Copies of this chain bind each other. A is one copy, B any other.
Amino acid sequence: MRGSDAAPAGAADFVAAGVNIVDVARRAGVSISTVSRTLRGSLNVSGDTRERVLRAAADLSYVPSPAASRLASGRTRTIGVIVQFSARWFFAEVIRGAEGVLRASDYDLLLFNVGDPASRAHLFQTMPLRRRVDGVLAVATNFSESETTALTRLGVPLVIVGHQPGPSGAGVGIDDTESAAMAVRHLVLLGHVDIAMISGLPDDPIGRGTTLARRAGFSAGLHAAGLPDRPDRIVSEPWGVEGGRRAMERLLTRPQLPTAVFAESDEMAFGALRTLRRVGLEVPGAVSVIGFDDHELAPASDLTTIAQPAYEQGRLAAAMALDLLTGNTDEVDQRLTLPTRLVVRGTTGPPRRDL
Residues of A within 8 A of B (CB): 14, 16-17, 61, 63-68, 70-71, 76, 85-87, 89, 92-93, 95-96, 99-100, 103, 106, 108-113, 119, 122, 126-128, 130-132, 153, 155, 241, 245, 267, 270-271, 273-274, 277-278, 296-297, 299-302
A137 CB to closest chain B CB, in angstroms?
13
A131 to B16, CA, bound (A): 10
Residues A270 and B241 in contact, CB atoms below 8 Å apart: no
Q: Name 20 interchain pairs, CB-CB below 8 A, sorted by A.
A: A63-B128, A66-B70, A67-B70, A68-B71, A86-B99, A87-B92, A87-B95, A87-B96, A96-B113, A99-B111, A100-B113, A108-B110, A111-B111, A245-B300, A270-B300, A271-B300, A273-B300, A274-B302, A278-B302, A300-B301
Q: List residues of chain B with CB within 8 A of the CB of A17.
A: 130, 153, 155
Interface of A, helix, strand, loop or mixed by DSSP: helix
A63 CB to closest chain B CB, in angstroms?
4
Residues B113 and A99 in contact, CB atoms below 8 Å apart: yes
Q: A63-B130, A87-B89, A103-B113 are in contact. List 13 more A-B contacts (CB 8 A).
A: A14-B153, A16-B127, A17-B153, A65-B131, A67-B67, A87-B296, A96-B113, A99-B111, A103-B119, A241-B299, A245-B300, A270-B300, A274-B302
- Of residues A64, A96, A109, A278, which shows the largest number of chain B Cβ atoms within 10 Å of its Cβ? A96
Residues A86 and B76 in contact, CB atoms below 8 Å apart: no
A132 to B, closest residue via Cβ: B66
